Amino acid sequence: MSLRLSGASLQHGNGVHALRGVDLSIDAGERVAIIGPSGAGKSSLLGLLASALMPSAGAVEVLGQQPWQLSARARQRLRTRIGLVHQAPPLPPRQRVVTAVLAGKLGQWGLGRSLLNLLHPSDIPGAREVLARLDLTDKLFAQCQQLSGGQLQRVGIARALYQDPELLLADEPVSAMDPVLADHCLNVLCRHAEARGVTLVASLHAVDLALAHFPRIVGVREGHIVFDRPAAEVDQAL
């Protein structure tokens, strides 16, 4: 199911206009990279698609629904169908990696004791399998606070893959990784999206990574979409 922004603007609480009249339409199963300088509005755009931020004007349609026409409860249900990959995943420092991955399916970050009871040891092989794809099996029982920024980003990706959502939104998912690892992890994300027919939208500041992994590139600058083209038509020197 598609994603659509029509004349969508976003004004943050401090009055900053992060997005101005953005039109964007993404079909089911597409893989799209959002590129642009820091402060351009990439995170804000992903926030609208995630149904996390409400537009100050215009319309948003996510997975065939208009999140801001729904009740809070229905909007929450819609969000559970979306997998978010954060630049810095908000994982509790003492949480084990395995718990962090399994909790993705519950749509939780922090896990109280009652939710922890919902996790079952028989789920651990599933978590181990996604972590293996990201070369992180040796950290299965590490605490999140023992991990580097790049390792935490990989836990965030593993969590979203394990969740197996209908839509994957990733905000600078590989920014703390070296180029080889970044390339590998984007491959894992893209292959997953392709295999599952999942729509994937990722913001990236590395243009070469965007061009290498995404068929469609959307350029954002000062709250506007400045281009929207197939990767093959985007100038490498951009």
Q: Which stretch binds ligand ADP (CB under 6 A): 1-9, 13-21, 22-30, 184-192?
A: 13-21
CA 28 → CA 66, 126, 179, distances in Å? 16, 26, 29
Of 22, 40, 130, 210, the one binding ligand ADP by CB under 6 A: 40
Q: Does 173 bind ligand ADP (CB under 6 A)?
A: no
Of 39, 149, 179, 230, the one binding ligand ADP by CB under 6 A: 39
HEC profile for the chain?
CCEEEEEEEEECCCCCEEEEEEEEEECCCCEEEEECCCCCCHHHHHHHHCCCCCCCEEEEEECCECHHHCCHHHHHHHHCCEEEECCCCCCCCCCEHHHHHHHHHHCCCCCCHHHHCCCCHHHHHHHHHHHHHCCCHHHCCCEHHHCCHHHHHHHHHHHHHHHCCCEEEEECCCCCCCHHHHHHHHHHHHHHHHHHCCEEEEECCCHHHHHHHCCEEEEEECCEEEEEEEHHHCCCCC
Shortest Å distance, C-beta 224 to ligand ADP: 11
Q: Does 111 bind ligand ADP (CB under 6 A)?
A: yes
Of 95, 151, 153, 199, the one binding ligand ADP by CB under 6 A: 95
Shortest Å distance, C-beta 11 to ligand ADP: 9
Of 39 and 215, CB closest to ligand ADP: 39
Q: Does 168 bind ligand ADP (CB under 6 A)?
A: no
Q: Which stretch binds ligand ADP (CB under 6 A): 10-18, 73-81, 162-170, 211-219?
A: 10-18
Shortest Å distance, C-beta 118 to ligand ADP: 10
Of 92 and 150, CB closest to ligand ADP: 92
Q: Which stretch binds ligand ADP (CB under 6 A): 90-98, 156-164, 183-191, 211-219?
A: 90-98
Shortest Å distance, C-beta 187 to ligand ADP: 23
Q: How many whole angstroms separate alpha carbon 77 and alpha carbon 212?
A: 34
Q: Does 90 bind ligand ADP (CB under 6 A)?
A: no
Where in 133-162 is the site for ligand ADP (CB under 6 A)?
141
Q: How many whole angstroms separate alpha carbon 90 and alpha carbon 6?
A: 30
Return residues touching ligand ADP (CB under 6 A): 12-14, 16, 18, 36, 38-44, 94-96, 98-99, 111, 119, 121, 141
